[in-house]
Amino acid sequence: MTEGTERPDRREPGAEDEAPEKGRSERPAMTPVEGATEGDGPGILSGPLGMVFNLRMLRRVVQLLFFLGINAYVMASWYGGDAIVGFWRQFGQVLPTLPIIAPLEAPAAVLAGSFDTMQREFTSGVFPFFTLGAMIIILVVLGRTACGWVCPIGTVQDFATLPNRSKIRPAPGTEKEFRRIKAYLFIMVMFFVLWVGVSKVTGTEERLVEMLGPFADAAFAPWNPAYIIFVESTRHVWPTGIDNLWVLLQWPTVFWLQVVFIAVIVVGSFWFPRWFCRWLCPAGWFYGLFSKDALIGIGRNPARCTPDTCNLCEVVCPMNIQIRSFPYERVHSPDCIMCLECKSHCPTKAIQIRFI
Helix (H, G, I), strand (E, B) or coil at 271: helix
> Is 321 near ligand SF4 (CB under 6 A)?
yes
> Is 284 near ligand SF4 (CB under 6 A)?
yes
Q: Which of 298, 305, 310, 346 is close enough to bind ligand SF4 by CB under 6 A?
A: 298
CA–CA separation, 28 vs 17, rounded Å?
A: 17
> Is 347 near ligand SF4 (CB under 6 A)?
no
CA–CA separation, 20 vs 181, rounded Å?
A: 23
Number of residues that bind ligand SF4 (CB under 6 A): 24
Burial of residue 80 (CB within 10 Å: 0-12, 13-18, 19+) is exposed
Q: Which of 110, 218, 317, 346 is close enough to bind ligand SF4 by CB under 6 A?
A: 317
Rank residues 159 and 195 by Cβ distance to ligand SF4 and give the closer one: 159
286: CB partners within 8 A, 6+ apart: 115, 186
258: CB partners within 8 A, 6+ apart: 222, 223, 228, 232
> Minimum distance between the CB of residue 170 and ligand SF4, rounded to whole angstroms?
15
- Name which of residues 128 to 187 contact ligand SF4 (CB under 6 A): 147, 151, 153-154
- CB count in 10 Å sphere of residue 264: 13
CA–CA separation, 261 vs 172, rounded Å?
A: 26
> Is 118 near ligand SF4 (CB under 6 A)?
no
Rank residues 8 and 125 by Cβ distance to ligand SF4 and give the closer one: 8
Q: Which of 121, 205, 232, 341 is close enough to bind ligand SF4 by CB under 6 A?
A: 341
Rank residues 158 and 205 by Cβ distance to ligand SF4 and give the closer one: 158
Is the CB of residue 134 less than 8 Å from the CB of residue 95?
A: no
Chain positions contacting ligand SF4, by CB under 6 A? 100-101, 147, 151, 153-154, 276-277, 281, 283-284, 298, 317, 319, 321, 323, 331, 336-342
